[in-house]
Chains A and B, each alone.
Chain A
Amino acid sequence: MAEKRINLVVEGYPDAQAATKILRYLNFSTETVFNRRGKSRIDEKLAGFNSAARSTGAYWFVLRDMDTDADCAPDLRAKLLPAPAASMCFRVVVRAIESWLLADRETMAAFLAVALAKITGWPEALPNPKQYLIALARTSRRKEICEGMVPREGSGAKEGPEYASLLGQFVDQNWRPEIAAKNSDSLSRCLRSLRAWK
């Protein structure tokens, strides 16, 4: 049977890379990537993606960060999309995509060039995983990581000028969803839910 092609809806570039990698790991392939640039722009059209899934039967995988919008992922999922279509997989990341990436501690430590011991084994407990990751990058031994991922002091930016592309490259080349899932409950549930389509 031909591999299933799945439409992706994500908030940003690193998220798109992570979702694509997950699909690849599960032997699915990516059809169209809808990079919505921000969760609010996912939320406002979520019903539209869902009704497309319902009417055409095509597969949709929507990934949205929980951030601090709720205390637990199921609540937020139920609130944003009370009646998901059968071919709609809407998953909430606890609390942001960086948690899932940090959950593969070994490859992340190698990529950031920081000691493994510095990386938490419980990334879902981080209130702001992106800030945590940038703080780690600041202590990196690689100049490329410091300059690319950390915002220049006084620049007013929240991330470095190459944050998304460097992180995207890491996801594509190094990140292992199956290993990361051991440290992240929300990722593990996401994989389980996608496997149901096999």
Chain B
Amino acid sequence: MRINRLRLDNWRNFRAVDAPLQKRVFLVGPNASGKSNFLDSLRFLQDLAIDGGGLREAVNRRRGVAKIRCLAARRPPDVAIKAEIVDDSEKSAVWTYHVVFNQDNNSRPIVKQEFVARGGETLLQRPDKDDRADPERLTQTHLEQVNANKEFRPIVELFRSIRYLHIVPQLVRDPGRYVAKDKDPFGGDFLEQVVRTTPKTASARFRAIAAVLQAAVPQLKEVKIERDETTGEPHLMGRFENWRPGAGWQREDQFSDGTLRMIGLLWAVFEGSGPLLLEEPELSLHAGVIRHLPQMFAKVARKKGRQIIISTHSPELLSDPGIAPDEVLMLQPDAEGTRVGTAANDAEIVALLEGGLSIADVVIPKTAPPNAEQLAFSFESD
């Protein structure tokens, strides 16, 4: 199953966007256009659905409805996320999940509407008569209610399975810098997560990772996890080919940024089968490696039926001729909030691609900030 279409109303940078999502998606746009905020709407759905999550928690993690709501919002100022979900493997009906929320006078998040349908059949329509009888019920969505979501459990499971990754190598090396939080997408508890996997699964996964990693870091021959005997802290160990035999095992604090990011990326790719959200996977990697990421993602999407949504600034990554224009979502900031559209919907882009240009040739200039050259000019008057 995957998310086929996403509509956001008043969500952060986006006043009203409606974006089709393919199995593989590339989000492209200037800095601060909202690529991470777009991904965050999916993480919000995940936060609604996971154990220990729910509407209040999801909103609190984002420091309140007022922080979530788009600055360009008009009346009604409700925030809404609508996801359309399909199953590519079978010709099953399309699911729809729609949640509309705001806050009450005490700044508590409140469900204004919640709607679930499968095909043409409505499975949930809130507020219902129970909500009207007891408005307190509207502090929770039915995604977080096991008793209430039996009818649409598959989409609850899909939202739960969403994974976000943006490994910061410094945090992996020095987790003490980060206040331990469960499932930290920035890698603060990456090693803890790895260590919690059963040893059999972990070692199988590391073997698979090491095999793929060979392509990017040929000197790295083996990867494993080990607990320090005195401190009990988990450590990632890598055996590097070295002129001294036996001297090749190194700890993660000796790994390069690129190696750590690559290991994190591959771990995420091998873990699970739900939608995977990747923030700039090109960071710290060599151009010759980045070039092959799109085809690797395509392979994962096909083999594991996994949707992969990637934000990127990399011309290297976007120059893969196998990237289809309908896989590229372009984010363009505007006074009325960021606009989002696929490259396939822009007649000029389609004409340029037809004429032999690559996605990178066209999309990067189209999404560049109009006055970026001022960066260099601005020091002249001093």
Chain A residues within CB distance 8 Å of chain B: 12-13, 35, 37-38, 144, 147-148, 151-152, 154-165
Enumerate chain A residues within 8 angstroms of B325, measured Cβ to Cβ: 155-157
How many Å lie between the Cα of A157 and that of B326 in the bound state?
Answer: 8
Query: Is the CB of B327 closer than 8 A to any CB of chain A?
Result: yes
Query: Is the CB of B286 closer than 8 A to any CB of chain A?
Result: no
B24 CB to nearest A CB, Å:
7
Contact check, A163 vs B321: say whether CB atoms are below 8 A apart: yes
**Out of A154, A158, A162, which one reaches B298, CB within 8 Å?**
A162
| Chain B interface, number of residues (Cβ within 8 angstroms) | 26
Query: Is the CB of B266 closer than 8 A to any CB of chain A?
Result: no
Contact check, A156 vs B294: say whether CB atoms are below 8 A apart: no
B89 CB to nearest A CB, Å:
11
Contact check, B322 vs A37: say whether CB atoms are below 8 A apart: no
Chain B residues within CB distance 8 Å of chain A: 22, 24, 291-292, 294-296, 298-299, 301-302, 319-327, 343-344, 350, 353, 356, 358
Query: Which residue of chain B lies nearest to A33 when distances are taken between CB atoms in the complex?
Result: B288
Enumerate chain A residues within 8 angstroms of B320, measured Cβ to Cβ: 164
- 6 A-B pairs besides A155-B326, A159-B322, A161-B295 with CB distance below 8 A are A148-B298, A155-B22, A156-B344, A157-B325, A158-B321, A161-B302
Enumerate chain A residues within 8 angstroms of B299, measured Cβ to Cβ: 148, 162, 165
Contact check, A157 vs B298: say whether CB atoms are below 8 A apart: no
What are 9 A-B interface contacts by the 8 Å CB criterion? A147-B302, A154-B326, A156-B350, A161-B298, A161-B301, A164-B321, A165-B292, A165-B295, A165-B296
How many Å lie between the Cα of A5 and that of B278 in the bound state?
Answer: 39
Enumerate chain A residues within 8 angstroms of B321, measured Cβ to Cβ: 12, 157-159, 163-164
Contact check, A37 vs B324: say whether CB atoms are below 8 A apart: no
Query: Which residue of chain B lies nearest to A40 when distances are taken between CB atoms in the complex?
Result: B356
The verdict on A162 contacting B295 (CB below 8 Å), with A37-B358, A144-B302 known, is: yes
How many Å lie between the Cα of A38 and that of B360 in the bound state?
Answer: 13
Enumerate chain B residues within 8 angstroms of A161, measured Cβ to Cβ: 24, 294-295, 298, 301-302, 322-324
A7 CB to nearest B CB, Å:
15
How many Å lie between the Cα of A151 and that of B321 in the bound state?
Answer: 11
Enumerate chain B residues within 8 angstroms of A147, measured Cβ to Cβ: 302
How many Å lie between the Cα of A13 and that of B321 in the bound state?
Answer: 10
How many Å lie between the Cα of A163 and that of B323 in the bound state?
Answer: 10
**Out of A38, A144, A155, A162, which one reaches B344, CB within 8 Å?**
A155
The verdict on A151 contacting B324 (CB below 8 Å), with A37-B358, A144-B302, A156-B353 known, is: yes
Query: Which residue of chain A lies nearest to B288 when distances are taken between CB atoms in the complex?
Result: A35
How many Å lie between the Cα of A16 and that of B116 in the bound state?
Answer: 50
Enumerate chain A residues within 8 angstroms of B24, measured Cβ to Cβ: 161
Contact check, B322 vs A156: say whether CB atoms are below 8 A apart: no
The verdict on A152 contacting B324 (CB below 8 Å), with A147-B302, A161-B24, A161-B295 known, is: yes
Enumerate chain A residues within 8 angstroms of B296, measured Cβ to Cβ: 165
How many Å lie between the Cα of A38 and that of B291 in the bound state?
Answer: 14
5 closest Cβ pairs, A-B complex: A157-B324, A155-B324, A161-B298, A156-B325, A165-B295
How many Å lie between the Cα of A188 and that of B353 in the bound state?
Answer: 34
Enumerate chain A residues within 8 angstroms of B353, measured Cβ to Cβ: 156, 158
Contact check, A37 vs B319: say whether CB atoms are below 8 A apart: yes
Query: Which residue of chain B lies nearest to A165 when distances are taken between CB atoms in the complex?
Result: B295
Enumerate chain B residues within 8 angstroms of A144, measured Cβ to Cβ: 302
Contact check, A162 vs B326: say whether CB atoms are below 8 A apart: no
